[in-house]
């Protein structure tokens, strides 16, 4: 590993995140990239959106510089650009889902044909890989609803991926790629936290979710690897799954916008400042990520399963308590 070159790439990614936010902050009114609050929004004033273009630029540049497979970079890059169009114009959820699925077919199909990742060459891996890719991309997008939460999650999630690959002796181009994506999120974060001047937009959240899922699929050799690396953004998965379960129980349409996530309840019904909720999610992500890295070296499925069950159980209890308290007092 040429560390001087790695430092240069990291600086370029960091700068790209900063410049993306600045460009959108300046040009958003003319491009009509303004997020006007509605009854389902967690913000109360118009804010520029689409700042994730800097993350997209970093993703493409690092993909080229690090020689990441084109069937990894191009589908995710195109998906992100279409999501940018969705930040400007309305695109129906069905069309979005179709585009995401096509991108997933290309990315997962490449791993399937090239023998890359866990379960390579099996139809089950191909199908479940598509579900994982599309599900993570949408989950990340749904969770991008308050100041800083998507950016901070990107900083920590991709950093943990890089650390995990380094400690397991697999810090190849995907390790550096993950670190650069983390730094691009760090560059964008000051635009979005503690008080948002620019939103990441779908261009950024869909990019980060799909890039995270694709990286996990490409670097994982076993199901154990996938379980460990997925824990690096555990709060997002936990909040989305518990909220979706609650909405399904109430016969709600999962495609309709809402404010039912735990982080939204904390910010809106409970009135906790966005940055405090974001930091809380970050602390939870950091602690669980450290636990996942600790368990990774032990390769003990029973311990990992117990850790995951305890994490989900704790999240369900906290979610139930917060929602019950909010319903009673706010």
Every domain of the chain and the residues it spans: 3-329
User: Six-digit token pair at 209?
Assistant: 């979710």
Cα angle: 214, vertex 92, 87; to 5 degrees: 70
Along the 330 residues of the chain, how does pLDDT read in single tens digits? 677 888 999 999 999 999 999 999 999 888 889 888 776 777 778 899 999 999 999 999 999 999 999 999 999 999 999 999 998 898 998 999 999 999 999 999 887 776 656 555 577 788 899 999 999 999 999 999 899 999 999 999 999 999 999 998 888 899 999 999 999 999 999 999 999 999 999 999 999 999 999 999 998 888 889 999 999 999 999 999 999 999 988 888 777 778 889 999 999 989 999 999 999 999 999 999 999 999 988 888 899 999 999 999 999 999 999 998 887 765
Q: What is the C-alpha to C-alpha distance for residues 71 and 105, in angstroms, rounded to an integer?
A: 10
Q: What is the C-alpha to C-alpha distance for residues 50 and 146, in angstroms, rounded to an integer?
A: 15
Q: What is the C-alpha to C-alpha distance for residues 161 and 122, in angstroms, rounded to an integer?
A: 25
Q: What is each CA distance from 93 to 73, 234, 257, in whole angstroms?
A: 23, 25, 11
Q: What are residue 35's DSSP bridge partners?
A: 47
Place of tokens 């804010």: 47
Residues 6+ apart with CB under 8 A from 141: 83, 202, 205, 206, 209
Q: What is the C-alpha to C-alpha distance for residues 244 and 254, in angstroms, rounded to an integer?
A: 7
Residues 6+ apart with CB under 8 A from 227: 304, 308
Q: What are residue 34's DSSP bridge partners?
A: 48
3-state DSSP call for residue 198?
strand
User: Six-digit token pair at 309?
Assistant: 């069950």
Place of tokens 């209890």: 317
Beta carbons of 58 and 180 less than 8 angstroms apart: yes
Residue 246 burial (10 A CB sphere; 0-12, 13-18, 19+): middle
């Amino acid at each position: 590993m040429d560390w001087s070159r790695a430092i240069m790439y990291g600086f370029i990614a960091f700068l790209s995140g900063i410049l993306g936010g600045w460009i959108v902050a300046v040009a958003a009114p003319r491009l009509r990239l303004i997020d006007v609050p509605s009854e389902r929004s967690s913000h109360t004033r118009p804010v520029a959106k689409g700042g994730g273009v800097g993350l997209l630029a970093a993703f493409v540049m690092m993909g080229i510089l690090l020689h990441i497979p084109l069937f990894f970079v191009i589908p995710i890059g195109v998906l992100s650009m279409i999501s940018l169009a969705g930040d400007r114009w309305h695109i129906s959820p069905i069309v979005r889902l179709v585009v995401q699925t096509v991108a997933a077919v290309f990315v997962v199909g490449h791993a399937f044909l090239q023998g890359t990742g866990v379960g390579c060459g099996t139809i089950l891996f191909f199908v479940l890989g598509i579900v994982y890719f599309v599900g993570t991309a949408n989950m990340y997008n749904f969770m991008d609803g308050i100041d800083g939460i998507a950016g901070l999650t990107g900083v920590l999630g991709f950093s943990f991926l890089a650390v995990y690959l380094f400690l397991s002796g697999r810090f190849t181009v995907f390790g550096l790629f993950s670190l650069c994506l983390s730094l691009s999120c760090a560059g964008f974060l000051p635009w979005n936290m503690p008080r948002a001047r620019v939103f990441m937009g779908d261009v950024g959240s869909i990019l980060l979710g799909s890039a995270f899922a694709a990286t996990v699929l490409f670097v994982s050799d076993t199901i154990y690897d996938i379980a460990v690396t997925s824990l690096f953004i555990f709060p997002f998965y936990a909040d989305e799954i518990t909220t979706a379960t609650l909405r399904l129980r109430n016969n709600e349409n999962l495609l309709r916008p809402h404010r039912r996530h735990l982080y939204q309840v904390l910010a809106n019904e409970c009135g906790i400042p966005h940055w405090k909720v974001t930091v809380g999610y970050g602390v939870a992500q950091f602690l669980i990520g450290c636990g996942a890295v600790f368990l990774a070296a032990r390769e003990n499925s029973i311990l990992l399963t117990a850790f995951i069950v305890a994490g989900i159980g704790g999240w369900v209890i906290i979610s139930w308590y917060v929602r019950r308290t909010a319903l009673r007092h706010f």
